[in-house]
Structure 1
Amino acid sequence: MKISVVGAGALGTFYCAMLSSSGQDVTLVCREKDAAALSKGIQVTGAVEVSATPSIATSVPSSDLVLVTVKAYDVGDAVRGIKPKPGAIVVVIHNGLGPDEAAASIIGKGHVAVGVSYSGVTFMGPGNVRLAGYTETVLGSVEPEVATRLSVVREALEKAGLKARIAGDIRAAQWEKLYANIAINPVTAITGLNNGALLEVPELKALVANVVNEAAQVSKAMGIVTSVDPLENTYKVIRDTSGNRSSMLQDVTRRRRTEIDALNGKVCELGQKHGVPTPYNDTITSLIKGIEHKNMVRGQ
């Protein structure tokens, strides 16, 4: 099976290194400016120590499996160059809600699946990432014909030493991670604190509760039924990742655009659609937009 990983950031480099080091046929698709550096090899340090030399390309070759690991706002552009052959699966691994739907609208029916990744990866430089921890990748698709083919994706990940499972309701699985993401990512990005501080500072713990409880009301109004308690699970994720620097904190530190629109911004959008007030998520979204604006002005 030919596998392509689109995106050579933290997550893409991690998945590519793990898959390639397990002997699978993997191509890492990157920007032109990074190709020379990545051709020398990629590595993961930290919780695992892995080196690999996958094939490097700047466009997506014909593949049986494509993992799209770019930021939520880049998914549309990333999948436009994918022309999947019959039976190929394109797994969009992303935070938040919406990017996989955007991918399906471009690629068409019969190919797109979702990956929900529980991993803490820090980008150290082209081809070099540090893993704080990995739990699992949850796979699923809203298209039944795609969902029935996901066992090949799970097997590829498991061969690479990565726990994976197929969810019966991938939308519920996305919300389960979203609850934690909308609390951890923006609040750490605003404060500059590691995840664990969100439970150590009483005022921040209260803010986390308000942000998550709003989202839970939105998902309830949408008929989403999750297998976890939104707030208790968020607290658990914070405890389990207490030393991590969230991906959004990494983004604002590097003066990059964040995924706020697919996270808290999406909660606000859906809340308005379903008649659920979201004042805490509205405020959080506005603050992150302000930080993005500041970083953009400084970068000019």
Structure 2
Amino acid sequence: MPTAAVVGGGSLGMLLAGRLAASGCDTELWTRTSEQAARINSEGLTVESETGQAVIRAEVKAVPINEAAFFKNGPILLALKQTALTPDFLERFARIVPDDATVALFQNGIGHVEKLQLALPGRNLVVAITTEAAQRIDSVTVRHTGRGETRLGNVTEDSGGHDQDLEDLLKQAGFSVSLSKQVREAMLRKLLINAVINPLTAILRVKNGELTQSPERLHLMKALFLETYEILTPHGLGDEAELWNHVLQVCDATKANRSSMLQDVSLHKETEIESINGQICRLASEQGKPAPWNTAVTTLVKAVD
């Protein structure tokens, strides 16, 4: 039986753990709190469909992150947000991750790969860029609010077939997965999508699909998109029209989803705005370009937060 550990009991971590366990994978879920771990161990993990119907009830072994032991049984899927990758966490994480472990990085934004390379030298790091959408309903229930695509790519070229092993595991769990040798471009595409959708849904307090439902919102989206595209293009982005259509397609495919940033704002939690639009602002500064739209949404989200 395949085994895996998922780190993070938020919406994405619960979705990954629930579907992996339901597919026959022996799955551990490392949660932030002992209360969530106790409930999952007692009640199991429920994954709902977009309409709110329970489609999966899975038995998952849950462990508080600060009690997690050395894990040498299989890949580790890191589903924490960048804000959780603190020096204290990374120091502890490095102690319980074997030297030959494969770690899949599901973070939004950019900057986390370099941070984890420093914290986990010698490990097999695989970047995972996903547009799967999920909403945590409570500590034992997650709703799969939009099906997406997940692209995997080894951080280093000599990492072997570790992304292939992860692809097989995630496909077995019912996810749509592909391998990519252009992982940097895939990260930039995801950054562009997040930089447009996440802050605007958080500020306007709307679901992803509602962003496209008025000319005024579309105008905001397009202005933020064009500025962000101009800043990211020198780093290797593709065709402008194709990318704009892709942003609209993601909004439609995840129309019932409340973005992770909107969920964080609603719960008065720290958002990933600095890892997304804040990073866009820093890249613009390095290029000597203005970034008024990204600066504005960064400031507004931080003010709300």
Question: What's the TM-score once normalised by structure 1's chain length?
Answer: 0.91
2:61 to 55, 59, 66: 55
For residue 257 of structure 1, what is the aligned residue in structure 2?
A: 270
Do residues 248 (structure 1) and 261 (structure 2) align? yes
Is contact 1:69-1:93 (8 Å) kept? yes
The residue identity in structure 2 corresponding to 1:62 is: F
1:34 to 31, 36, 43: 36
Measured after TM superposition, the shift of residue 253 of structure 1 is 0.8
Give, in whole Å, the separation in 2 of the partners of 1:154 and 1:227.
29
1:43 to 41, 46, 50: 46
Give, in whole Å, the separation in 2 of the partners of 1:102 and 1:228.
33
Is contact 1:140-1:147 (8 Å) kept? no
Give, in whole Å, the separation in 2 of the partners of 1:32 and 1:228.
47
Give, in whole Å, the separation in 1 of the partners of 2:258 and 2:48.
16
Question: Matched residue of 2:159: which SS?
Answer: helix
The superposition leaves residues 83-137 of structure 1 with CA deviations (integer Å, 9 ceiling, x where unpaired) of 4324321111021112222112111134222111211111111121111122221
The residue identity in structure 1 corresponding to 2:59 is: T
Give, in whole Å, the separation in 2 of the partners of 1:86 and 1:259.
29
Give, in whole Å, the separation in 2 of the partners of 1:112 and 1:185.
26
Q: 1:7 to 1:227 in 2, by over 3 A?
A: farther
Give, in whole Å, the separation in 2 of the partners of 1:98 and 1:287.
22
The residue identity in structure 2 corresponding to 1:49 is: V
For residue 68 of structure 1, what is the aligned residue in structure 2?
A: 78
Is contact 1:68-1:78 (8 Å) kept? no
Q: Structure 2: state its 5+ residue gaps.
A: none
For residue 26 of structure 2, what is the aligned residue in structure 1?
A: 25
Is contact 2:105-2:126 (8 Å) kept? yes
The residue identity in structure 2 corresponding to 1:71 is: K
Give, in whole Å, the separation in 2 of the partners of 1:271 and 1:227.
18
Is contact 1:38-1:127 (8 Å) kept? yes
RMSD of the TM alignment (CA)?
1.9
The residue identity in structure 2 corresponding to 1:212 is: F
Question: Matched residue of 1:130: which SS?
Answer: strand
Give, in whole Å, the separation in 1 of the partners of 2:85 and 2:19.
22
For residue 225 of structure 2, what is the aligned residue in structure 1?
A: 212
2:105 to 88, 92, 102: 92
- Superposed, 1:287-298 pairs within 5 Å as 287-292=300-305
The superposition leaves residues 213-268 of structure 1 with CA deviations (integer Å, 9 ceiling, x where unpaired) of 11111122224447983222112212222232211111111111111011111111
Q: Report how many residues are paired.
A: 292
Give, in whole Å, the separation in 2 of the partners of 1:118 and 1:279.
27
The residue identity in structure 1 corresponding to 2:188 is: W
Q: Mean Cα displacement is larger for which, 156-165 or 58-67?
A: 58-67
The percent of aligned pairs where both chains have the same amino acid is 28
Q: Structure 1: state its 5+ residue gaps.
A: 293-300
For residue 208 of structure 2, what is the aligned residue in structure 1?
A: 195
Q: 1:224 to 1:60 in 2, by over 3 A?
A: farther
Is contact 2:40-2:61 (8 Å) kept? no
